[in-house]
Amino acid sequence: MITPRRTRLVRVADLQTFRHIIAALARSAQGTVVVVPTRGAARLLTRTVDADIVTREELYDRLRARLENPPRQLSPLERDVMAQASARAAAAGVRDLSFQLRPGLVAEMLRFYDQLRRQSQQVKRFEELVAEALGSDDVDKAAQRMRVQTRFLADAFRDYERRVRESDGCDEHTLRERLMAEASPNPVRHVLVTIPDWIVDSAGLYQSDFDLLTRIPGLESLDIVSTERVLASGFHERLHTWWPGLEDVSAQDVRVAGLKPCTTYDPEETRRSGSAVDSGSEVVQGFSPARPVLVTQPGAPPDEPWWTLRDREEELVAIARQLKADRRRGESVPLERTAIVYKHPLPYLYAAVEIFGRAGIAYRMSDALPLAAEPTAAALDLVLDAVASRFSRSTIISLLRSPHFVFRSGGPDAAGADSEGGAEITRESVSAFDRALSKARYLGELERLEALAADWEDEASRPALNAALAVARALAPITATHPASQQIGCLHAFWLTHIRPIADDDPFVSRERRARSAIVDMLPSLAAVHAAHGDPDWTIDDLSIAVRRWLEDQTFVPDGDAPRGVHLLDDQAARYGDFDDVAIVGVVDQDWPERPRRNIFYPPALLKALGWPSEKDRRAAADARFLDLLTSARRRTLVSTFTLDEDAIVSRSLQLDEIPRARLSTASREPFEDARVFADEALSLEPLVFDPFEGPARSWAELRTQRSPGDAPDFHGSVHDVAAQAWSVSAIETYLDCPFKFFAQHVLKLEEEPEDEEIMDPRRQGQFVHKVFEEFFAAWQQAGHRAVTPQNLDAAREMFTSVVDRALERLPAAEAGLERTRLLGSPAAAGLGDAVLRMEAERPIAVVERLLEQRLNGNFTFVTAEGQRTIALRGKADRLDLLEDGTFRLIDYKLGWPPQRGRALQLPIYSICAEQKLAGRHGRNWQLSEAAYLAFKGPKRVVPLFATPADRGKVLAEAQQRLAQAVDAIERGEFPPTPDDVWRCETCSFASVCRKDYVGDV
């Protein structure tokens, strides 16, 4: 039997009256349950309404708890796993399914099922409606695919319903059926619905919810409160369709027996007392809302009553300046009377921490933050990444370096098991291990790591090696395919073993513990439900997707908010907050109005047949809510949009064109951009002010003002005490490329970040090619040959080929193929070896001795414009050929392009050093006759240092001058970051440690 009840629709003009009447109606009946869209909205309403304030899900939970024997509510995780098992079972029975089953797709299926049931559709009716809409056309392939898909979905939904029935729990749909059939011994008697339907608000009620509230036993009164604008957008018509005979009353007509005066707020009184107070003077019938003023940007055209700022950060900066300007002008209201309203909380919540923190403005958040953005969740990602990459160098090093875990040096015991013992590994050990792996060209796989460990000699990195072996062995089972529950169990065990204990006095202890406990609760639950529902075989990809999906669904409400700060809240919650000033931010096309979630199964025309709303209905509802929001404040409303989202240009929302319909008067703000608002401005604008700082921050601020000026040479690459030493010529060449790069590499001795390459990096390639030529010429001389001549060129080629083949045996197969082509050539192009041999064979003067990898260390004399001087140098010439006529030829191998003649240093300086070093060899002096690069890139293989003998003197003189100037600058300690070409910075390994002063000049 249905309990007789009073059901009313209470129509209100605006949001101020909306809040007022909710408070009045909630007070009028003991035990009223008030339904709101979100927890954020509930938290706001709790400030003025003493009632049980619940979201839609919580309403079901309250009703369930009042049943005589309440059934257990299935968790979202259980439902998801049941749906996955049902989808697998249904897919096995349907042929020609046009898509693959993935966890994300099954989640969409479950969402679609919920939507159907909430719109009071049964699975059978869904099938019938789709069949009717598709007609009987058997030729259309798309229609055929839809039929197969519909059969699959219906089978999966039926299987899911069977699993729910057979479980010991209930989902929302089976609960609804039971709530309507079974009277509670302690029923909810009064419900006040403050949300519209789901077409107006994504958190709104559905047809089946309204149906439940009409029929549930024990309910005596049901009030639905809505603004006129929302009702006019189509909600009124829908309500009357579902509920013929629904009583309509306006706010003025509401008479509430025993109504006490409502809590209201008087801005003038608040300004006088400095805090919000209850004047307690109004009742429902006498309430008259205030009319806010729309604040426009200084200088904005009259037809643009909104603010346009560069990005989201600038929007918050403008609001912070506004708040400070109000305070200076004596126009401020308490901070908690101001709200910043957005459509989506991120990234506003993160930006607010930074911007309001710098401005010293207290704030409070109503929204939950995503758990996935917490550092702890990122730690779990490190574990999954290490397994997915099969323990590649970068992922295992990142895991070992993570502060969230503890890894010990105990390593494996004699039986190969992991030892619990040993000290915690150090960062130094991990860094040494990183370099050792890079040197060994380790690209992943446990077997390769174990093979390397068998011959490991580096003691500094051994603790990290042991830890890495233990990690890889513990996680290795996950790299194979195993039942889901086993995979999750292995991950869970690893997490529990290695997670670092967190101290009670850690500043992040509460957030960290909350995130950890969410993970520790999730993993065993996920394993248990999978074990109970088919336990499918999972790869590491399946495991990663499942864990990450679950993490992405979790949120938490940050604590520690200032109770009297500016409110940051979304537009759903904002309807429930009584504020003087409201700033609506981020009104861009992609967010306002909110895009409906796209249905991936059916096109809009088919969905219409299933009861889905049209885009026109949604748009009308969104505009109505936007207009409601514009008049929600009591004093001022500000609306802003922005033009840049990260690096992408975005368009303003077309809803901004609706603003005139709110009929608000406008007032332009005076500019306040030059006001000092942020802590950094206190220290960067003259005169400096220390008032915003106290304690250590103030001491530091005062200390910083006594520092040497920012344009002092010390801040621009000048250092003292660079010890004089013999620099290598290649290092001095680096100085000419960029002085700071030289400083980082040769003075600070910073090591470049290692990179994993499938093939050799250029440095290793260079070493390999040099080695091959060295081995060839040594073998050639040992065989009794001297010069390579046209007569013995073929023999030289043959010997070179066999030397190359022997050297290639040291390389992996893929790499060996590349190097063979480079050195020996292909049918399309000659190799490097041929270029080297032909060069010599074409020269008429015979070689008497060949000096390979010749060291040129010591003091050498150079002639500069300032006179003769001696410079200590180190160097190694690739090849010196002493010729019969008392001259020598100097060869430098270049794997890349040859350097520009005007910048080259090595070849000309080695020429001069070699002349001095060779003096007296074989009882004579030797003079440079030829110097050339054998370049492996560029149009010519042989590139002479000087084009004609006449150039020789000029080229050598210029090189000596460059060398002397560079050495003098190094000794003066001049290392500015000024590359000879800014493109050099693109590939520079020291970009992260250099302050690129040149940037302003480019």
Residue whose structure tokens are 């001069």: 912
Find the part of the chain contacting ligand SF4 (CB under 6 A) among 335-343, 374-382, 771-779, 986-994: 986-994
| Residues 654, 727: Cα–Cα separation, whole Å | 66
Strands 867-874 and 876-883: unpaired
Question: What torsion, rounded to 10 degrees, do the Cα atoms 872, 877, 883, 889 define?
Answer: -100
Token pair in block for residue 835: 């270029």
Burial bucket for residue 935 (CB in 10 Å: 0-12, 13-18, 19+): buried
988 binds ligand SF4 (CB under 6 A): yes
The span of 67-75, 420-428, 690-698, 980-988 binding ligand SF4 (CB under 6 A) equals: 980-988
Stretch that binds ligand SF4, among 208-216, 435-443, 486-494, 985-993 (CB under 6 A): 985-993
Minimal distance in Å, beta carbon 984 to ligand SF4?
Answer: 4
Q: At what angle do helices 393-401 and 427-439 cross, to 10 degrees?
A: 180
Q: Least Å distance between CB 937 and ligand SF4?
A: 21
Q: How many angstroms separate the CA atoms of 340 and 252, rounded?
A: 31
Token couple for 145: 């695919």
Q: Least distance (Å) from ligand SF4 to the CB of residue 806?
A: 39
Stretch that binds ligand SF4, among 518-526, 701-709, 933-941, 977-985 (CB under 6 A): 977-985
Q: Which residue lies nearer to ligand SF4 by CB, 670 or 1001?
A: 1001
Q: Provide the H-helix boundaries in 825-951.
A: 832-842, 906-918
Q: Which of 99, 802, 984, 1001 binds ligand SF4 (CB under 6 A)?
A: 984
- Which residues between 28 and 67 bind ligand SF4 (CB under 6 A)? none
Q: Please report whether residue 991 would count as binding ligand SF4 according to CB under 6 A.
A: yes
Measuring CA to CA, which residue among 38, 248, 195 is closest to residue 625?
195
| Strands, E assignment, 712-758 | 727-728
Q: Which is nearer to ligand SF4, 286 or 896 (CB)?
A: 896
Cβ 896 to ligand SF4 shortest distance, Å: 17
Structure tokens at 756: 């994993």
Stretch that binds ligand SF4, among 186-194, 294-302, 867-875, 982-990 (CB under 6 A): 982-990
Contact 271, 634 (CB under 8 A): no
Q: How far is the CB of 741 from ligand SF4 (least distance, A)?
A: 4
Contacting range for ligand SF4; rule: CB under 6 A; set: 457-465, 628-636, 782-790, 984-992: 984-992
If the CB atoms of residues 396 and 994 are measured against ligand SF4, the closer one turns out to be: 994
* Residue 745: CB minimum distance to ligand SF4, A: 9
Candidates 92-100, 246-254, 413-421, 981-989: pick the segment binding ligand SF4 (CB under 6 A): 981-989
Tell me whether residue 776 or residue 990 sits nearer to ligand SF4 (CB atom). 990
Residue 12: in which H helix or E strand, if any? strand 6-12
Q: Which stretch binds ligand SF4 (CB under 6 A): 129-137, 397-405, 603-611, 989-997?
A: 989-997
To ligand SF4, the closest distance from the beta carbon of 973 in angstroms equals: 16
The rounded Cα 158 to chain-centroid distance in angstroms is 39
970 binds ligand SF4 (CB under 6 A): no
List, as one string, the DSSP characters of 24-44: HHHHHSTTPEEE-S-HHHHHH
Signed CA dihedral, 491, 493, 494, 499: sign only: positive
Cα gap 89→617, rounded to integer Å: 38
Residues whose CB falls within 8 Å of the CB of residue 982, separated by 6 or more in sequence, listed in order: 998, 1002
| Cα angle, residue 894 at apex, residues 890 and 898 outer, rounded to 5° | 90
**Amino acid code (one letter) for 463:** P
Q: How far is the CB of 882 from ligand SF4 (least distance, A)?
A: 39
Nearer to ligand SF4, 356 or 975 (CB): 975
Closest approach of Cβ 988 to ligand SF4, in Å? 3
Instruction: Find the helix or strand (DSSP H, E) in which 408 lies.
Output: none
977 binds ligand SF4, rule: CB under 6 A: yes
The residue (of 489 and 899) whose beta carbon lies closer to ligand SF4 is 899
Provide the minimum distance between the beta carbon of 724 and ligand SF4 in the complex, in angstroms, as a whole number.
23
Binding test (CB under 6 A) with ligand SF4, winner from 49, 397, 913, 985: 985
For ligand SF4, the closer of residues 240 and 763 by Cβ is 763
Find the distance separating the first CA and the last CA of the chain, reported in whole Å. 83
Integer CA distances (angstroms), 197 to 219, 236, 621, in order: 20, 10, 10
Residue type, 370: P
Among residues 292, 411, 908, 979, the one that binds ligand SF4 under rule CB under 6 A: 979
Span of 583-591, 594-602, 895-903, 979-987 interacting with ligand SF4 by CB under 6 A:
979-987
Q: What does the radius of gyration of the chain's CA atoms come to, in whole angstroms? A: 39
What's the closest the beta carbon of residue 1000 comes to ligand SF4, in angstroms?
A: 13
Is 994 a binding residue for ligand SF4 by CB under 6 A? The answer is yes
For residues 684-743, which are near ligand SF4 according to CB under 6 A?
A: 738, 740-741
Residue 942 CB neighbour total at 10 angstroms = 16
Nearest distance, CB of residue 998 and ligand SF4, angstroms: 6
- Pick 468 or 736: Cβ nearer ligand SF4: 736
Judged by CB under 6 A, does residue 463 bind ligand SF4? no
Query: Measured between alpha carbons, how far is 931 from 937 in angstroms, rounded to an integer?
Result: 18
Kindly state whether residue 777 participates in binding ligand SF4, applying the rule CB under 6 A. Answer: no
Nearest CB to ligand SF4, comparing residues 209 and 974: 974
The total of other beta-carbon atoms located within 10 Å of residue 525's CB is 16
Q: How far is the CB of 747 from ligand SF4 (least distance, A)?
A: 12
Instruction: For residue 458, give the nearest of 438, 475, 480, 477 by alpha carbon.
Output: 438
CB of 969 to ligand SF4, least distance (A): 15
Binding-site residue total for ligand SF4 (CB under 6 A)?
A: 12
Residue type, 453: A
- Distant-in-sequence, close-in-space partners of 22: CB < 8 Å, separation ≥ 6: 34, 45, 49, 192, 194, 225, 576
Nearer CB in complex with ligand SF4: 635/746 = 746
Positive/negative CA dihedral, 881, 883, 888, 889? negative
**Which residue bears the tokens 């059916």?**
602
List the one residue from 160, 538, 612, 990 that touches ligand SF4 (CB under 6 A): 990
Name the nearest CA neighbour of 207 among 165, 245, 173: 173
| CB 717 within 8 Å of CB 740 | yes
Q: How far is the CB of 986 from ligand SF4 (least distance, A)?
A: 8
The stretch among 58-66, 640-648, 653-661, 988-996 that binds ligand SF4 (CB under 6 A) is 988-996
Nearer to ligand SF4, 843 or 996 (CB): 996
**Least spacing, CB of residue 750 vs ligand SF4, in Å:** 10
Q: Which stretch binds ligand SF4 (CB under 6 A): 319-327, 351-359, 540-548, 990-998?
A: 990-998
CB nearer to ligand SF4: pick between 899 and 979: 979
CA–CA separation, 183 and 1 (whole Å): 9
Cβ closest to ligand SF4, residue 736 vs residue 880: 736
**Token pair recorded at residue 709:** 């000026």
**Of 221, 216, 223, 232, residue with least CA distance to 194:** 223
341 is a site residue for ligand SF4 (CB under 6 A): no
Closest distance of CB 995 from ligand SF4, Å: 8
Of 754 and 977, the one with the shorter C-beta distance to ligand SF4 is: 977
**What CA–CA distance (Å, rounded) separates 657 from 305?**
9
Q: Which residues bind ligand SF4 (CB under 6 A)?
A: 738, 740-741, 977, 979, 984-985, 988, 990-991, 994, 996
